[in-house]
């Protein structure tokens, strides 16, 4: 039973001593859903399950009859909804009570040279199983699970033999009852423990680092022990992106954050500014936040082109010094762009340098000037139709002339034009794409439904319900 509850956790926790930059919360609602789905799976598994043979001897006063109960199959299983709760600040407790099973099989006896046989029906009533597991964290930051206690009690067993001289062994039904009850009771807990160990094995085998694309990987080990209270389980994860080629620590640290209670959703994921900024730093330190822009990249319809004549509008001396030459811009981030989350919005500020060159017909580049571009964007994000949508607006863009080889000039005109180009050309295109939405990644075992996104000071939360995909969840 319990392992199936943890199915919910295994796809969350793929996942040292520092503040977690991401947090995953499983609420009681999520726990109960996981249990319900798990109970269904177990019932499916129990149907038509074949039990191991039971052999023994029964003393019939004139000697011993050797018997075998074989081919015992579960024909019907009444599996009551188990209960599960967060327990003891460290784990879960699950209890199943009143489980009843009907079984059928073959009996065979041997008494001296006399062989006999037939069929039997068996009913096992009122099986109660209680299991407590503890969650922890291993030295590599994997979630770990251990069985703390297990109790199994079988209420009663009834058995009816048919065929052959079944009336003889039917008289010893008490013997069989005791034997089967004892065998069941001593087998249930080892089976439970075994499936918990299997689950632990799966957890240990899981990666806590994932390549996100060719550039970044995401590091997700647990930063501390799972925190459990009566209403939720909270996993703190490192949540840091690194450049695959140049993995270095960024010059900033994750700040602690407290996620609000969201008991109406099965789970919530909190992502701090740090996580996004580590991704930004990863791209920056991999040297990817730079681009060369030449005139071929400017849409033909644009009123401004990248040549000294066209730029003469903003820099009158330019076409006089370098008439009719094409230009090229080397654009690069001065430092990693910074994200900040505020109530209801995510802001991005980027400091960019632009070096402008004129290109002689023989391809020689002549440096012209260097501009600093300080830009601030404001974005909103939300879920609609299970896709993430967003819109980005320009807050402010400020140009400064940092150095020049062509003499001083005013940047106001350029600044206005750049701001206008952003507003009428770049952002509408971007917002068109964001409006179409970004599909959430589909996990192997589950799908998120009813997701909502909230921005808070320093972090954002995605709260969601999950739908387990049954056909995929059958793993041992
Ligand atoms: C279990 O056995 C019954 C009867 O043999 C069969 O109808 C049913 O499809 C089986 N169920 C599964 C899950 O194999
Ligand atoms: C409760 O947790 C502690 C460790 O945190 C453990 O020592 C104790 O055995 C647990 N109690 C039960 C009933 O599992
Ligand atoms: C874990 O990561 C390694 C190396 O990146 C990869 O080879 C392996 O397939 C991954 N294992 C799983 C279970 O994803
Ligand atoms: C420079 O751009 C203008 C449009 O602004 C265009 O008419 C002109 O042909 C361009 N000159 C060169 C050399 O590409
Ligand atoms: C390219 O042409 C310019 C002027 O047209 C000249 O000053 C420069 O020396 C030339 N460079 C090379 C590498 O030929
Ligand atoms: C844009 O930034 C400049 C310089 O930082 C500032 O003077 C101006 O007020 C800002 N404009 C807006 C609309 O925030």
Name the burial class of residue 6, with classes exposed (0-12), middle (13-18) and buried (19+) by CB atoms within 10 angstroms of its CB. buried
If residue 53 lies in a helix (H) or strand (E), which one and from where to where? none
CATH (residue range 29-205): 3.15.10.10
What single DSSP character describes residue 422? I
Low-confidence ranges of the chain (pLDDT < 70): 1-17, 48, 470-476
Scan for tokens 């979630």, then name that residue: 143
**Architecture label for domain 209-466:** Super Roll (3.15)
Distance 89 CA to ligand 5 centre (A): 76
Pocket of ligand 6 (CB under 6 A): 396, 398
CA-to-CA distance for 56 and 65, rounded, in angstroms?
Answer: 8
CA-to-CA distance for 389 and 436, rounded, in angstroms?
Answer: 7
Nearest CA to ligand 6 atom 5: 398
The CB of 148 under 6 Å from ligand 2? The reply is yes
Tell me the H-state helices in 70-218: 166-170, 173-205
Distance 311 CA to ligand 4 centre (A): 10
The pLDDT of residue 10 is 44
CA-to-CA distance for 88 and 261, rounded, in angstroms?
Answer: 20
The pLDDT of residue 128 is 92
Q: Judge whether 62 and 51 are in contact, CB under 8 Å.
A: no
The CB of 146 under 6 Å from ligand 2? The reply is no
Distances (CA, A) of 303 to 123, 300, 306, 383: 86, 8, 10, 37
Q: Residues with Cβ < 8 Å from 204, sequence gap 6 or more?
A: 138, 142, 144
Nearest CA to ligand 5 atom 13: 364
Nearest CA to ligand 6 atom 3: 398
Write b or e for each residue in 216-247: b if 16 or more Cβ atoms lie within 10 A of its Cβ, otherwise e.
bbbbbbbbbbbebeeebbbbbbbbbbbbeeee
End-to-end CA distance of the chain: 12
Beta-strand relationship, 240-243 and 216-219: antiparallel
The domain ranges of the chain are 29-205, 209-466
Q: Judge whether 458 and 404 are in contact, CB under 8 Å.
A: no
If residue 56 lies in a helix (H) or strand (E), which one and from where to where? strand 54-59
The CB of 169 under 6 Å from ligand 2? The reply is no
What single DSSP character describes residue 52? P
* Three-class SS state of 278: helix
* Three-class SS state of 121: strand
The pLDDT of residue 223 is 94
Pocket test for ligand 2, best of 85, 87, 89, 134 (most atoms within 8 A of CB): 134
Angle, CA of 274, 279 and 283, to the nearest 5°: 140
Nearest CA to ligand 4 atom 13: 324
* Three-class SS state of 448: strand
CA-to-CA distance for 129 and 42, rounded, in angstroms?
Answer: 14
The pLDDT of residue 48 is 62
Name the burial class of residue 415, with classes exposed (0-12), middle (13-18) and buried (19+) by CB atoms within 10 angstroms of its CB. middle
Write b or e for each residue in 119-128: b if 16 or more Cβ atoms lie within 10 A of its Cβ, otherwise e.
ebebebeebe
The pLDDT of residue 90 is 85
The pLDDT of residue 470 is 62
Residue 392 sits at φ, ψ, to 5 deg, of -120, 135
Ligand 6 atom index nearest CA of 396: 1
Give the tokens for residue 43: 């019932």
């Amino acid at each position: 039973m319990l392992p199936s509850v943890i199915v919910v956790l295994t796809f969350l926790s793929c996942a040292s001593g520092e503040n977690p930059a991401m947090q995953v919360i499983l609420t009681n609602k999520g726990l109960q859903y996981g249990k319900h789905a798990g109970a269904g799976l177990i019932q499916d598994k129990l149907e038509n399950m074949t039990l191991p043979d039971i052999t023994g001897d029964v003393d019939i006063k004139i000697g011993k009859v050797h018997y075998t109960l074989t081919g015992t199959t579960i024909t019907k299983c009444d599996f009551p909804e188990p209960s599960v709760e967060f327990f003891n600040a460290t784990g879960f407790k699950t209890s199943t009570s009143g489980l009843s099973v009907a079984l059928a099989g073959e009996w065979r006896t041997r008494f001296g040279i006399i062989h006999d046989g037939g069929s039997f029906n068996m009913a096992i009533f009122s099986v109660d199983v209680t299991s407590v597991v503890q969650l922890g964290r291993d030295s590599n930051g994997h979630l770990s699970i251990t069985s703390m206690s297990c109790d199994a009690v079988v209420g009663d067993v009834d058995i009816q033999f048919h065929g052959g001289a079944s009336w003889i062994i039917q008289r010893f039904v008490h013997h069989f009852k005791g034997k089967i009850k004892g065998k069941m009771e001593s087998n249930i807990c080892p089976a439970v423990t075994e499936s918990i160990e299997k689950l632990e094995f799966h957890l240990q085998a899981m990666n806590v680092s994932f390549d996100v694309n060719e550039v970044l990987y995401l590091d997700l080990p647990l930063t501390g022990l799972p925190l459990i209270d009566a209403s939720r389980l909270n996993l703190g994860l490192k949540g840091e992106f690194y450049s695959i080629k140049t993995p270095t620590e960024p010059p900033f640290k994750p700040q602690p954050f407290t996620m609000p209670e969201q008991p109406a959703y099965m789970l919530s994921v909190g992502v701090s500014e740090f996580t996004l900024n580590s991704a930004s730093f990863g791209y920056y330190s991999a040297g990817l936040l730079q681009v060369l822009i030449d005139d071929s990249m400017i849409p033909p319809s644009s009123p401004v082109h990248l040549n000294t004549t066209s730029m003469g509008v903003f820099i009158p001396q330019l076409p006089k010094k370098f008439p009719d030459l094409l230009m090229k811009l080397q654009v690069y981030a001065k430092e990693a762009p910074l994200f900040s989350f505020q109530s209801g919005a995510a802001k991005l500020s980027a400091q960019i340098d632009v070096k402008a060159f004129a290109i002689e017909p023989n391809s020689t580049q002549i440096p012209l000037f260097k501009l600093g571009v300080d830009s601030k964007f404001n974005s909103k994000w939300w879920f609609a139709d299970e896709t993430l949508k967003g819109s980005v607006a320009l807050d402010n863009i400020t140009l400064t002339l940092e150095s020049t080889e062509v003499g001083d000039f005013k940047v106001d005109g350029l600044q206005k034009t750049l701001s206008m180009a952003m507003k009428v050309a770049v952002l509408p295109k971007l917002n068109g794409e964001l409006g179409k939405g970004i599909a959430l990644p589909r996990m192997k075992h589950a799908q998120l439904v009813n997701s909502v996104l909230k921005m808070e000071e320093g972090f954002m939360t995605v709260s969601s319900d999950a739908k387990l995909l049954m056909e995929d969840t059958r793993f041992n």
